[in-house]
Chain A
Amino acid sequence: MNGSAKPWSKFWLYGIASAICYGVLFMHLNDKDAIRPFTRTDGLYPLLPVAAAFVFSFFHGGFTGYFWDVVGIQAKSAKPVSKDETEGSED
């Protein structure tokens, strides 16, 4: 990944989607009427917080991943961990 072009378009795409999610949340931070459906126990309402968590994590997870990419903090290598080497160097 090092040295490759920075993923600015994905950063902005996921960033805007994440900002919309959190913008809505903070606009209703203490609006109990808006938040109350997430604590309802009837019907399919209990799935609402689970669904919200998946939606937030999809957009914000993408954004935070691209954030570290564009600021230049990237993984050293994506080489899988090898335990063959481990077993060969035990002594």
Chain B
Amino acid sequence: MENVLIDLTWQNVGFLLIVGFIGGLVSGFIGSGGAFVLTPGMMSMGVPGLVAVASNICHKFPKALVGAMKRAKYGQVDIKLGLVMSATAALGMWWGAGIQQEIKASYGEAGSNLFVSMAFVIVLTIVGGFVLRDAVKIYRSGTTGAHDEEVSRLAKWIQSIEIPGTMMAFKVAKVRVSLLFILPLGFATGLLASTIAVGGFVGVPGMMYVLGAPSLVASATELVIAFVMGLGGTIKFAIGGYVDIRLAMIILLASLFGIQLGAIGTTFVKPYMIKVVMASIMLIVAVSRALVVPVYLAQLGKMGLEAGTGELLKNLSFGMMVLALAVGAFIIIGAMVRGHREHAAVA
């Protein structure tokens, strides 16, 4: 497929390296991140949409593999939970892809974009708001310095329900829960991954608040899910000839530095910081996607919008996504520096 390969300039390479590093740093820390900037970023270079998605996924699975192996060394990865979640997430992805195709067939490209943006806004506002509320609660309680986390009431209730023949124990997460609760959670993670490309925004909070896994284990286990889904996605796109290996490996060049640093960072900071970073990124991305909703509504003829205003909103939206990633990286590095100083002072 000749048309999938664009000519790459050194400016393109520089952009991929910078975003790749920051995306890797955030992924290493919270289990996901970066895809929402990389895919539109590649498209703005002239890379066709499907190739941008495919190349992004092709960099995601080796990155997640390296990150998962690193965090497994710190005892943070629950491989069994990750694999069970991955199996059901694959079903969710398959179903979500079908919904996407139906929407595209019925309402065209603008309808599909509107659906994706609305999914971003609704899911990230609700889940991000919930994570932020929890982070604020911990901050107000004065227990930010604690390495312990309070298990949510929902998780306690779910853990207390015994359904014979369906109970599964997860040693690292220290959770014993019915498979019947994990199935819908994995399914929702896959569904979101197929819709907004960042399933971790549901998977990580779900493992924390629904199953009761510690945030460090939830964010590390998400890397296993990202690896399995990324590998499957890469094979699917490679069969169609959509992977531009140059783009994927250039992003990987920087993102592996980032993911290793983010993983190291988790050993220096309090678990509460995972929630702060996750909520900040999710809520800024929600605002970013809300900005482009009028553009797609105008394309569908549901409202009037001047062309200049549409372009402005699109640029503002992309700028907000870059800001989300930058804010996440800034908080992570700040928390790492503080954690390192505290550790050095104690030692």
Contacts and interface: CB of A to CB of B under 8 A. Distances in A.
Interface string A29-73: 110100110111100001111101110110011001101100001
A2 to B, nearest CB: 8
Contact of B252 (A60, A73, A79): A60
Nearest to B78: A81
* Secondary structure of the B contact surface, majority rule: helix
A35 B150 CA distance: 51
Interface in B205-264: 213-214, 216-217, 231, 234-235, 238-246, 248-250, 252-253, 256-257, 260-261, 263-264
B74 interface: yes
A85 to B, nearest CB: 5
B246 A29 contact: yes
Contact of A90 (B4, B151, B243, B261): B151
A70 to B, nearest CB: 12
Contact of B172 (A73, A79, A81, A86): A81
27 contacts: A25-B246, A25-B250, A35-B5, A38-B244, A39-B1, A41-B241, A46-B238, A49-B238, A50-B58, A50-B238, A60-B252, A60-B256, A61-B65, A61-B69, A64-B66, A65-B66, A65-B70, A68-B264, A75-B267, A76-B343, A78-B74, A81-B217, A83-B217, A85-B147, A86-B174, A88-B148, A89-B146
Interface of B: 1-2, 4-5, 7-8, 13, 58-59, 61-63, 65-66, 69-70, 73-76, 146-151, 172-175, 213-214, 216-217, 231, 234-235, 238-246, 248-250, 252-253, 256-257, 260-261, 263-264, 267-268, 339-340, 343
Interface of A: 21-22, 25, 29-30, 32, 35-36, 38-41, 46-50, 52-54, 56-57, 60-61, 64-65, 67-68, 73-90
Given A29-B246, A61-B260, 20 more contacts: A25-B249, A25-B250, A32-B5, A35-B244, A39-B242, A41-B239, A41-B240, A53-B58, A53-B234, A54-B62, A60-B252, A76-B343, A77-B74, A78-B74, A79-B74, A81-B74, A83-B173, A83-B214, A87-B151, A89-B148
